[in-house]
Chains A and B, each alone.
Chain A
Amino acid sequence: MSDAERHTPPVEGSVRQHVYDGIEEYNKRLPNWWLFTLYITIAFSIAYWFYYAQSGLPEKDGPRVEAEIARIEAERMKTSFELTDANLWAMSQQALIIEEGKTSFNSLCAACHLPSLKGKTENPAAIGPDLTDEEWVHGAEPMALYGVVAKGVLLKGMPAWGPVLGAEKSAAVVAYILSYHEAP
């Protein structure tokens, strides 16, 4: 049976008008499940458009993303205590917090400030200043120290450790440094 014999000749009106490269198309009905799915998606898209673009019910994308970023930042910078000079001095007396700060310090800060915290005093070739003396380049109060640890000092090459450590660990590092000083 040749290709021509295989096909029944099209009944009048059963073939669509267009011809592409000699290929004609039968005018057959799409399966009902296909049409049903199409109608549902059309209805869904109208409802979706109405809900998101017209109704004003859901939050807009811009504010939603900003709120989410703010939430993550707040989560990272969250502390179970309030960041004040007094609180940081108090933390510098607590052994567990000092231990935590010491771990972070030895892995991240000792490279420049040396494990003894003495920095340039111990070794003039060291990069970071002495953290055990009373000379403070960027402010002496605990909150000033916290600011340096969290935000860094761009011009001097002091990195910002806030994004790496988070607020609680940064405060612990400050507490560790303060433990080398006498609280007022």
Chain B
Amino acid sequence: MPKPSRPSIDSVTTIRDDGSRFFLHPADVRGFFSKHRRWTGLLLIAIYLSLPWIDIGDHPAVFLDVGGRRFHLFGLTLAFQDAWLLFFAITGLGFALFFVTSLLGRLWCGWACPQTVFLEHVYRPIERFIEGDAVQRRRLDASSWTKEKILKRTAKQIAFVTVSAVISHLFLAYYVSLAELWNMMHTAPKEHGGAFLFVFVFTGVNYFNFAWFREQLCIVICPYGRLQSALTDDNTVVIGYDERRGEPRGHVTDPEAGACIDCNRCVQVCPTGIDIRHGLQLECIGCSACIDACDEIMTKVKRRTGLIRYDSLNGLEGGKTQWIRPRTIMYSILLVVGMAVAGWSISTVRPANMGVTRMTGAPYIVSDEAVRNQYLVRIVNKRESVQSFSLEVIGAPAAFTLTGFTGTVKVGPLGEEVFPLVMQVPRSEYTGKFPLELVLHAGAEGFELRREIEFIGPDPKLLREDSP
């Protein structure tokens, strides 16, 4: 399987003309960015692997308990009634992404995206260990099925499947907790058929993705890559080749040539198979391998590094990068407003929820003595301990009476209770509808939940005419 002689800007290197896949084996690279990228990747993997083990309060730090309808996030417990916060979580992530992308382009892709992190810091090192460096791997690809190839490939696939299974099982732990995952792993699959099927399929997806699909996801599937042209401009810092310095390319001894000696190291190390000297391209995931590759060569030939570097398109043409511009100002404003609103909305989350609804039936009842409104107060206790509550009604007129939710009530741990709220105003005193504020006081905690309701009734004039 010959490699195309050079990457072309008019085609995708990993997709051949006949539609078959050209499987890429990027060369190994060392350098400043590679080192920091490796450490960043390992840190992110460590966080992913260790979080299920860390408890905050009574729960794992990140426990998205879908079965129990409670999300536990670093000590904050969110009940199903708080699901509206998801809106802010998602739009907040969106705005943050737009903001970062307008400044720094595809920084996320090469440094933090799970696709790159797992591929470059887990799967490719395993492949490297078993099958050798890029040259040896290409030779193995091209060779027939010798005993050595069978052994190496089998070992590699077993390692890949094992790693994929570990990743998938820990993924499930975030949703059922580690203790429950351990429990599931020790009982028959049919007792938790859904979870078993999910992990089975997810392991397969991970294996297929990291063993074969790889950069195709970044190039074809991922929408973030395609959004770049909408989110970035000539002042966004990306990875680029300094044409003014590098061209015309020539032999290292040629005094007329530019800095680039056409060694093609930048092409050999690229995990998506492009030539960065063609300029900013769709396939480039900003992994900075080409920066390290070129810097290494430049140092060897005693030239200034930075021929390929992080810079904006303006900067690469000799201009200045304009950091503050309408695009970044607009995204900053959106981000700050979004964060402020998200922060405020999260600050309204309390260890309990209160829902107040009118009882089913008539909205108001007129008896011989009074006009009556009937409500149901549902209290959700998000704590693992019993909480006691009392209700205060503000804004009631003088002759107003309340029965039902008087005094203090208790709600069990993670429990929900319903209490009636029956309010009456004597017929002679009723002069029309009026607002009320309900204040739920939580005994031990000191927090309160407020709700505005309305006491409604018939037209007071008609009520008087209709006296019993």
Contacts and interface: CB of A to CB of B under 8 A. Distances in A.
A163 B418 CA distance: 12
A166 interface: no
Contacts of A112: 403-404, 420, 422
A1 interface: yes
Given A6-B279, A107-B417, A31 B8 contact: no
Interface string A75-113: 000000000000000000000000000000001100110
Residue of A7, A31, A152 with most partner-chain B CB within 10 A: A31
A60 to B, nearest CB: 25
Given A7-B10, A127-B424, A111 B360 contact: no
A111 B361 contact: no
A154 B374 CA distance: 12
A154 B361 contact: yes
A97 B421 CA distance: 26
A157 B374 contact: yes
Interface stretch (A32-40, A65-73, A133-141, A174-182): A32-40
Given A7-B9, A159-B359, A125 B401 contact: yes
Contacts of B409: 107
A157 B372 contact: yes
A143 interface: no
Interface string A147-176: 000001011111110011000000000000
B21 A31 contact: yes
Contact of B362 (A34, A107, A157, A163): A157
B365 interface: yes
A31 B367 CA distance: 76
Contact of A127 (B20, B360, B367, B405): B367
Contacts, number: 83
A157 B213 CA distance: 65
Contacts of A35: 19
A8 interface: yes
A28 interface: yes
B91 interface: no
Given A7-B9, A31-B15, A31-B220, A160 B422 contact: no
Interface in B197-240: 213, 216, 220
Interface string B25-36: 000000000000
B19 A30 contact: yes
B10 A108 contact: no
B216 A31 contact: yes
Contacts of B372: 127, 157
Contacts of A155: 362
B433 interface: no
B247 A108 contact: no
A44 interface: no
A26 interface: yes
A84 B419 CA distance: 29
B11 interface: yes
A29 interface: yes
Contact of A111 (B10, B367, B369, B404): B404
A31 B17 CA distance: 9
A159 B374 contact: yes
Interface in A105-124: 107-108, 111-112
B466 to A, nearest CB: 15
Given A34-B220, A127-B424, A6 B278 contact: yes
B283 interface: no
A154 B367 CA distance: 13
A32 B216 CA distance: 12
Given A125-B369, A127-B403, A160 B19 contact: no
Interface in A9-26: 10, 26
Contact of B420 (A10, A111, A160): A111
A10 B247 CA distance: 24
B18 interface: yes
A117 to B, nearest CB: 14
Contacts of B419: 107-108
Given A31-B220, A107-B417, A159 B360 contact: yes
Nearest to B366: A157
A154 B20 CA distance: 72
A119 to B, nearest CB: 11
B243 interface: yes
A31 B361 contact: no
Contacts of B404: 111-112
B205 to A, nearest CB: 13
Contacts of B362: 154-155, 157
B417 to A, nearest CB: 7
Nearest to A153: B361
Given A6-B279, A34-B220, 4 more contacts: A28-B15, A30-B15, A111-B420, A127-B372
Interface of A: 1, 3, 6-8, 10, 26, 28-35, 107-108, 111-112, 125, 127, 152, 154-160, 163-164
23 contacts: A6-B9, A7-B10, A8-B8, A8-B10, A26-B11, A28-B15, A29-B15, A29-B19, A30-B15, A33-B21, A33-B213, A107-B418, A108-B419, A112-B420, A125-B401, A127-B422, A127-B424, A154-B362, A156-B365, A158-B361, A159-B359, A160-B361, A164-B418
Closest 7 CB pairs between A and B? A157-B365, A111-B404, A32-B19, A29-B19, A111-B403, A159-B359, A31-B15
